[in-house]
Structure 1
Amino acid sequence: MITLGDRLREERNKKGLTQADFAALAGVTKRSQSLYEGNERTPKADYLAALHDVGVDTHYVLTGNRSHGSASFGSEGNIEEQQAAYLERQLNDPDVASIPMYDVECAAGSGRDFTEEKVLGYFHMDRAVLAELKLPADSGAWVRARGDSMVGTIDDGDYVFVDFTQRDPSREGVYLILMDGERRIKRMQRVAGGGWLLISDNTRYDKELIKPEQKQFVEILGRCLVNLGQVL
């Protein structure tokens, strides 16, 4: 028997999107998307409404019957127009913040910030919700992590919210840093003598000591506050 979750997965696959990217269109976490597709949780109305706005046949998802006049996934122009209209509505809503999404492996210029990078997409969040979560609406971004050095806390492909205004590791936390020409996500601790200790939550990786005279070669880009679905 074909379930709601099966039909939802079918619609996602037609768009050629991962669970994380499909979830971002609807403003939910990758875990929620997985639960919906596994029939472990029933999608809410706002989730389905968001998908409808970007061309998903939600009538089919709910009932198993194609809606008359539904958008064809073979018509890229139609889908692009609907996505553009949806994005325009979100951008014009003063109560909604459009948080850009980047890949940590992107590298342009000095790597100081992401202003010159390609935006992978936008995560639309209510400003009131952001304030409740203590996430800055206008000085942060969702950054896709890579690798397994922080596995258990941040897995490969997870999106992490980075606050670019928090660049002082005076208190222990997880930070996005620029080191040896690469952006990395590491847990940072101050040590006696004024140095830093870079820690990977995956115990397969050794800790790295940054001596005071080496700190000039490490730039802190921002503090990682939230992993989608998981508080760090």
Structure 2
Amino acid sequence: MSSTADRIQTRMAELSLKHKDLVNTTGASKGAVSHWLSGVNTPSGERLLSLARLLKTTPDWILTGTELPEGFRQIETWDDSTPLDDDEVEIPFFKDFSFACGSGSIGEAIANETRKLRMSKSTLRNLTITKENAVAAIASGDSMSPTIKDGDTIHVDLGRKNIKDGKIFAVCIGGLFYCKRLYNLPFGGVRIVSDNSEEFPEIQLTAEEIKKQDFHIIGWVWQISTMERW
């Protein structure tokens, strides 16, 4: 079975691309690209999207070898000027969502965000997520490892803020952005749980502490675009 590095090298050969082409297109350092090609690391986030466009394929194929569209060698790259397909929408894509975490600022941040991700209307429709409530962001840190790794892309439904025990939510605590599993506690309290519980102990807030610490739920994390690392 081929690896991510093998697939990248195969497409480079088929498209007559050089090491420098990957550096120039993705903005990654020469060392980072060398790590991709040797299998030390895998591309993620915006660099993965840029690499997929350069290689005229999909991020899923680069990372897993699956979901490769029929006749992928003829797929055209797209940019901001490429018309959307009938079943596509664009959603805001935040490289750093923490700046938008403060109460009342998310709507303004969404309106001003120029980076976009394209996704299928049917995917959102099947989950009853409206386009207006769909955003994506780059995750940072390892508090939710191994479920969410540093650099993964998370998709958030801003319309689902009611806690369903054990689900992962994007939350704001004291102006800082986190992804955590939430559980209801009696009298309006909440349990805030990290999957990496050894390094990040559970937090419990009463209803009064929720107000004092400016805790609020941004939305439900409904999809995590992750990858294995060597």
Partner of 1:101: 93
- Normalising to structure 2: TM-score of the pair? 0.68
- Normalising to structure 1: TM-score of the pair? 0.68
Aligned residues of 2:152 and 2:226 also touching (Cα < 8 A): no
How many matched pairs?
193
SS in 2 for 1:172: coil
Aligned residues of 1:104 and 1:146 also touching (Cα < 8 A): no
Structure 1 residues 42 and 141: CA distance shift in structure 2, 3 A:
closer
1:208 matches 2:218: no
Alignment of 1:155-166 (within 5 A): 155-166=149-160
Distance in 1, matches of 2:69 and 2:202, equals 43
Structure 1 residues 136 and 169: CA distance shift in structure 2, 3 A:
same
Aligned residues of 2:142 and 2:196 also touching (Cα < 8 A): yes
How far did residue 119 of structure 1 move? 3.0
Amino acid in structure 1 at the alignment position of 2:135: A
Partner of 1:178: 172
Alignment of 1:67-216 (within 5 A): 83-86=79-82, 89-90=83-84, 93-102=85-94, 103-107=96-100, 110=103, 112-113=105-106, 115-116=108-109, 119=113, 121-203=115-197, 204-216=199-211
Q: Deviations over 1:26-55 (max 9, x none)?
A: 5987553234xxxx56943476555x334x
How far did residue 84 of structure 1 move? 3.5
How far did residue 97 of structure 1 move? 0.8
Alignment of 1:30-41 (within 5 A): 30=59, 32-35=61-64
Distance in 1, matches of 2:154 and 2:139, equals 7
Amino acid in structure 2 at the alignment position of 1:178: C
How far did residue 143 of structure 1 move? 1.4
**Matched residues, percent identical?**
20
Q: Deviations over 1:105-151 (max 9, x none)?
A: 33476464153266362221221233235543331101111111001
Distance in 1, matches of 2:124 and 2:101, equals 29
SS in 2 for 1:152: coil
Match of 1:4 among 1, 10, 15: 10
Aligned residues of 1:176 and 1:183 also touching (Cα < 8 A): yes
Q: Which runs of 4+ in 1 moved over 6 A?
A: none
Amino acid in structure 2 at the alignment position of 1:164: L
Partner of 2:26: 16
Structure 1 residues 148 and 109: CA distance shift in structure 2, 3 A:
closer
Partner of 1:57: none
How far did residue 6 of structure 1 move? 4.5
How far did residue 173 of structure 1 move? 1.3
Match of 1:53 among 77, 90, 96: 77
SS in 2 for 1:116: helix
Aligned residues of 1:140 and 1:162 also touching (Cα < 8 A): yes
Partner of 1:218: 215
* Unaligned segments of structure 2, at least 5 residues: 1-5, 29-42
Output the aligned Cα RMSD: 3.3
